[in-house]
Amino acid sequence: MNLLNGRQWGKRYITGLDGLRAFAVIGVLLFHLMPTKVVGGWLGVPLFFVISGYLITDLLVQEFDKDQYIGTYQFYLRRLRRLYPALVVMLIVTTIVILLFTPDLQYNLRYVVLTNLFYVYNFWSISHGESYFQQFGGASPFTHLWSLSIEGQFYLVWPFIINFLLKHRVKRRVISIGLAFMAVVSALLMALLYQPDMINRVYYGTDTRLFAILLGTALAFMWPSDRLSHFIDQQSKQRLNIIGAIALVLMIFGILYINGQHPSTYYGMMFLFTLIATVLIAIVVHPASIWSQWLDNGFLNYLGKRSYSIYLYQLPVFVFYERLIPHFRPNMWHNVIELILVLLLSEVSYRYIEQPFRRGADFQNVWYWLTASRNRFFGTGIVSIIMIFFVAQGLTSHRAGISMPKTHLQKELSRNQERIAQQNKVAEQQNQLKGAGPRQHIKKQPLTQNDLKMIKKYQLKKLIIKFLKL
């Protein structure tokens, strides 16, 4: 079936992608609110990655085809206007709330803010951050920002790579196959580097999560939006619609049931889900597909256009709400209130931060508005100076530069683990001195009654915290 036609100059608004963004952000929201019921909601992030990889690549290729070069400076400026102001405001607002109401979250705050500003937070999280899935009673309002760092790193290098490949006239089918191969390599790295007790390495690592973006870029070279035909035969249209339906059902199933802590997720299940998401995106961007129309509706478009701000503010709202509401117990009404707060904040962010910067608002008019009234000018200036000094003082404090100290229970468990490990090491050395072969079974030192008591106490504490969050 021929689904492509001659190139059509000019950018085509791709209907349906905002609907897919809405699905992605809904999955993330439900996962953070109900992690035991929507266990795969975190897979909204790979869906975001594929969409970003496809759209950015598609636009850059169209720019090259039209002008025979890619304006890297203009690209960076567009990305910064689109993403950076909302991120900076979110970091400032969240920091102020932490300093005023939740000082226990101030630990490492300086490094969290700095690494997010430079889009390297995911690297820092590998060795310093908590597991995305194990944050009983101690969730951070910044944990979700790791994905923005990976996208930022992608935006930094991708225009140069595309420009180089296209200037050297590498065949686009070859580029697509090469990118798909690199995606497979990234997925294999995830499987090879996965360790159940060190999940952060593969979950936050750029090399192990890049396959989702790479699949989107590969699709853009093979399936350019400006060459997809509006007019195809009925049989081809039916095939598109059926494949889209199957992909959507499988994707929803994954969002509901794929557990982020199960080994199979990192041994190929996440990659399989991302492949399915890539197929669905290919169907949705085709103008002849019915899914391009069905996913283009007011509700989904509203959420999709605000998905970036919703993603930014959802975890801070959930964390602060659950901490600041007295005797908080999760229920439907609390969930509804939290969702309303997220939507309100995201609407403010979208309308007054994202859109003005994205459209290149005339800030000269804002300056005239401020200076038109002396009270308005000095009032705004004083509040801004106080806020800047308050945030700066918080970020430069001693607590903001150190990790949270371990509790007495955690210290005792660590000491017992170190003692047992040392005893086992000594036992192995003794057996080797006695002539025990490397394959001979070595009897480990058993846990003492005190060790067992401490472990039970620690496990009971985790179960209580987990029960209270259900």
Q: How confident is the model at residue 467 (pLDDT cuts 50, 70, 90)?
A: very low
Boundary-marking domain end, from 311, 344, 371: 311
In this predicted structure, the answer to whether residue 382 has a pLDDT above a threshold of 50 is yes
Q: Show the 3-state SS of 308-326.
A: HHHHHHHHHHHHHHHHHCC
* Domain annotation covers residue 398: no
Q: 224 is in which domain, residue-wise?
A: 17-311
Q: How confident is the model at residue 364 (pLDDT cuts 50, 70, 90)?
A: confident
Give the model confidence (pLDDT) of 209-244 as tens digits: 999 999 999 999 999 999 998 888 999 999 999 999
Query: Are 416 and 298 contained in the same domain?
Result: no
Q: How confident is the model at residue 407 (pLDDT cuts 50, 70, 90)?
A: low
Give the model confidence (pLDDT) of 245-260 as tens digits: 999 999 999 999 999 9
* Domain annotation covers residue 417: yes
Burial class (CB within 10 angstroms; exposed 0-12, middle 13-18, buried 19+) of 93:
middle
**Residue 404, pLDDT score:** 84
* 413 closest CA partner among 456, 465, 466, 467: 456
* Residue that wins the pLDDT comparison between 268 and 456: 268
* Domain annotation covers residue 394: no
**Residue 442, pLDDT score:** 45
* Domain annotation covers residue 4: no
* Domain annotation covers residue 332: no
| Mean pLDDT, rounded, for 3-14 | 62
Query: Are 304 and 195 contained in the same domain?
Result: yes
Q: What is the pTM of this model?
A: 0.86
- 């085509």: which residue's tokens? 12
Query: Are 307 and 414 contained in the same domain?
Result: no
Structure tokens belonging to residue 428:
């192995």
**Residue 462, pLDDT score:** 53
Boundary-marking domain end, from 249, 279, 311: 311
Q: How confident is the model at residue 361 (pLDDT cuts 50, 70, 90)?
A: low
Mean pLDDT of the chain: 88
What is the number of structural domains in the chain? 2
In this predicted structure, the answer to whether residue 331 has a pLDDT above a threshold of 50 is yes
Boundary-marking domain end, from 291, 311, 331: 311
**Residue 454, pLDDT score:** 59
| Mean pLDDT, rounded, for 436-464 | 53
CA–CA distance, 90 with 192 (Å, rounded to integer): 36
* Domain annotation covers residue 64: yes
* Domain annotation covers residue 323: no
